Amino acid sequence: MPVSAETFFAEALKAVEFVRTTQMENIRRAAGILADRLLRGGVVHVFGTGHSRAFAMEMAGRAGGLAPVHAMALEDLALRGVRPAGDLEDPTLERDPEVGRQVLRLYDIRPEDAFVVVSNSGRNGSTVELALTAKRHGHPVVAVTSMQHTTRVTSRHPSGKRLFEVADVVIDNGAPFGDALLDAGDGLRVCSVSSITGAFVAQGITAEIVRRYREAGKVPPVFISANVDGADEHNEQLRQAYAGRI
């Protein structure tokens, strides 16, 4: 199969279709759990390292997205003086369980809050530790991961657990082992897909949460594009409602 844009599009669409046909029930289950917490005044905290940060950015703080969604980031450890900025350049930082605990301590997390934890491999210590700690404090955890990948690797967490083994709901992003779709020869593969399917999952969860708001007779707290007239006032009201939490 030659490497080309057309081939990539075809293979990526297969991955998206896999998510649509096999993961919809898990997406609905996840949305039900998250909507329950949001309707009780909670916030959904989303965490991912590396390119899994894209999932958090897809859900939090964007036009058409829900206001009470908070993107957690390793960068905040440096911005708030917990770790030197140089640590962020260490590709092994995400493997350290202590990092997961440090990230959680940065934020105003309340009993009614919930978590979405995203990791293609599901193996790194910070990700697993954050999920485990959230669970110990009574928060529901939704995991988004590649089941093809995570079931072929060992955990880097002292518990020996991978992300899918600690979450309340697991959504398979349909990415292959190693994430890249196309064989480029010489043992190389190119064109990763987890961010693409992840975006579909993130927006699918958002749609299902909004549906539950409407079923409950509530107006969903949704951001409007800042480039639409009148959006600034609307969005600022939402930010103030969740001040210090998002």
Domains of the chain, residue spans: 5-241
Express each pLDDT in 160-215 by its tens digit: 999 999 999 999 999 999 999 999 999 999 999 999 999 999 999 999 999 999 99
189 within 8 A of 12, measured Cβ to Cβ: no
CATH class of 5-241: alpha beta
Express each pLDDT in 121-136 by its tens digit: 999 999 999 999 999 9
Amino acid at 79: L
Express each pLDDT in 57-85 by its tens digit: 999 999 999 999 999 999 999 999 999 99
User: pTM here?
Assistant: 0.95
Express each pLDDT in 15-40 by its tens digit: 999 999 999 999 999 999 999 999 99
- Residue that has been written with the tokens 């693409």 in this structure: 196
What per-residue confidence (pLDDT) applies to 2? Answer: 85
Region of 62 please: left (phi>0), alpha (psi -120 to 50) or beta.
beta
End-to-end CA distance of the chain: give it in Å, rounded.
45
Phi, psi (rounded to 5 degrees) for 185: 80, 165
